[in-house]
């Protein structure tokens, strides 16, 4: 953030979206990310976001929260998806072609990604794209 930039300036570079286990959540998450980033990086960010939100819908008993912050040019675009399931996802290779490639896509498109457990229950899966 530039020196002297106030909260209203910063809000143009952040996104927050709560979502349930509904099939429309990945689309709404892609639209939210599209408000802060476009171009080729925006395409990658929308795909990463969609994969992570889809994982929450498929593998947890509730929805989650998308948070993203665009720190460019000084830092990366950071995407975080929080949920209340403590199970840590594992990067797997699907042999049958019927899914299971979401984290592989995240791994390929992100500069870095990881999982941060939340004290109590839950976790945040994060991915950084860009510089």
Task: Kindly list the distances between the CA atom of residue 17 and the CA atoms of 7, 32, 54, 91, in Å, as whole numbers in the listed order.
Answer: 18, 7, 14, 25
The upper half-sphere exposure of residue 68, i.e. CA atoms within 13 Å in the direction of its Cβ, equals 31
Domain-wise residue ranges, the chain = 13-129
At 52-96, the pLDDT tens digits run 999 999 999 899 999 999 999 889 999 999 999 998 887 766 555
What is the CA 34 to chain-centroid distance, rounded? 12
The CATH architecture assigned to 13-129 reads 2-Layer Sandwich (3.30)
The reported pTM is: 0.85
C-alpha–C-alpha distance, residues 63 and 16, integer Å: 14
C-alpha–C-alpha distance, residues 39 and 92, integer Å: 29
At 119-129, the pLDDT tens digits run 888 999 999 99
């Amino acid at each position: 953030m530039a020196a002297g930039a106030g909260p209203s300036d910063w809000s143009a570079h952040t996104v927050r979206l709560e979502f349930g286990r509904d099939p429309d959540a990945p689309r709404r998450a892609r639209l939210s990310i599209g408000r802060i980033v476009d171009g080729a990086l925006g395409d990658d960010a929308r795909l990463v976001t969609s994969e992570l939100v889809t994982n929450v819908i498929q593998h947890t008993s509730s929805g989650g929260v998308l948070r993203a912050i665009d720190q460019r040019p000084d830092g990366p675009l950071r995407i975080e998806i929080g949920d209340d399931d403590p199970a840590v996802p594992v990067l797997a290779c699907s042999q049958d072609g019927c899914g299971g490639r979401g984290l592989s896509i995240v791994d390929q498109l992100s500069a870095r990604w990881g999982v941060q457990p939340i004290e109590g229950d839950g976790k945040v899966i994060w991915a950084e794209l860009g510089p």
